[in-house]
Structure formats: structure tokens, C-alpha cells
Amino acid sequence: MSELTLETAQAILASTLRAARTRGFKPLSVVVYDARGAIKAAASEDGTSLKRMEIAMGKAQGALAMGLGSRALHKMATDRPHFIAGVTHAVGGFMVPVPGGVLIKDSQGHLLGAVGVSGDTSDNDEIAAAGGIEAAGLTFDAGA
């Protein structure tokens, strides 16, 4: 397992928020997990709703749980809803299968962690996460 340092996680967090601000997205909650599923960094912009962060967490945790960007989970949930429903229960309830949970990889393709974003449309949440990871010099896997 490659390690995601706090410094890198904070860089991804900052560039994700910048990516959202440049595009005029709604206020976001953003969380960065390492590959173990431990929170390294998180921030909620002013104006997010009460449980917005929990939704961001669910996207990133779902991505890590199955090793796929959450757009792929979204497709699975559409094609085979019972599968994702079952997995959600099996993993303890923390999986939000829509775009915006994006895997972080290094240049060799090793998994470093995942970013979860919620607050705008799922597509825009994903754009912010992917842009943030890229701006930090890393590779993203959104599950496309």
C-alpha cells in the first residue's frame, strides 16, 4: 500500500475546492481518504447542508470498498440495484453509488486513496474531484 501523506491530501483538498470555485459550483463538502479508508483531510464550504459531508464520505468509501470510481458503482446500481443494495448493507451502510467518489492513483497506478465530493450535481462533484487530483500531480479514476 502506497502512503498518501497529509501534505498531499491537503494539496488535493485545496485544488478540489479551487476547481469548484473556478467553475462557480455550489458549496461543497470534500473528503480525502487514504487507501485504508482513513480520513486524511476534509472541508465543508460555508453554506453546505447538514449531512452533505456524510454523502461525500459515502461516495469515497464506496469507491474504496469496491476499488472502482463511484461512476462505475452508479452504473452497477442502475443495472443491478439488488447487488449494490446488498453490498451497501454488507459494508456497513457507507456507500453512495453516484459520481463524485474518485480514486487517487500514483504514476505507476498504485492506489493512494479516494476523494469524495458532494454539493452540486453528481457530474460537477466528479469534475471537482478529478480536477483536484490532477492539479495535485496525481492520476484519477472516476469509474467512467
Residues 67-126 that bind a copy of itself (CB under 8 A): 67-68, 74, 77-78, 80-98, 122
**Least separation, in Å, of the C-beta of 75 and a copy of itself?**
10
What is the spatial distance between Cα 78 and Cα 22, in angstroms, rounded to a whole number?
31
Residue 36 binds to a copy of itself (criterion: CB under 8 A): yes
**Least separation, in Å, of the C-beta of 137 and a copy of itself?**
18
Of the candidate spans 1-9, 124-132, 133-141, the one that interacts with a copy of itself by CB under 8 A turns out to be 1-9
Residue 43 binds to a copy of itself (criterion: CB under 8 A): yes
Q: Which three cell numbers stand for residue 13?
A: 483538498
Handedness of CA 55, 31, 99, 58 (dihedral sign): negative
- Comparison of 45 and 134: residue with beta carbon closer to a copy of itself: 45
* CB neighbours of residue 34 within 10 Å: 23
* CB neighbours of residue 26 within 10 Å: 15
Total residues in contact with a copy of itself, by rule CB under 8 A: 61
DSSP β-bridge partners for residue 140: 104
Residue 15 binds to a copy of itself (criterion: CB under 8 A): no
Residue 3 binds to a copy of itself (criterion: CB under 8 A): yes
**Helix, strand, or coil (residue 32):** strand
Phi, psi angles (nearest 5°) of residue 138: -120, 180
What is the spatial distance between Cα 98 and Cα 70, in angstroms, rounded to a whole number?
6
Task: Tell me which residues touch a copy of itself (CB under 8 A).
Answer: 1-3, 5-6, 9-10, 29, 31, 34-46, 48-55, 57-58, 62, 64-68, 74, 77-78, 80-98, 122
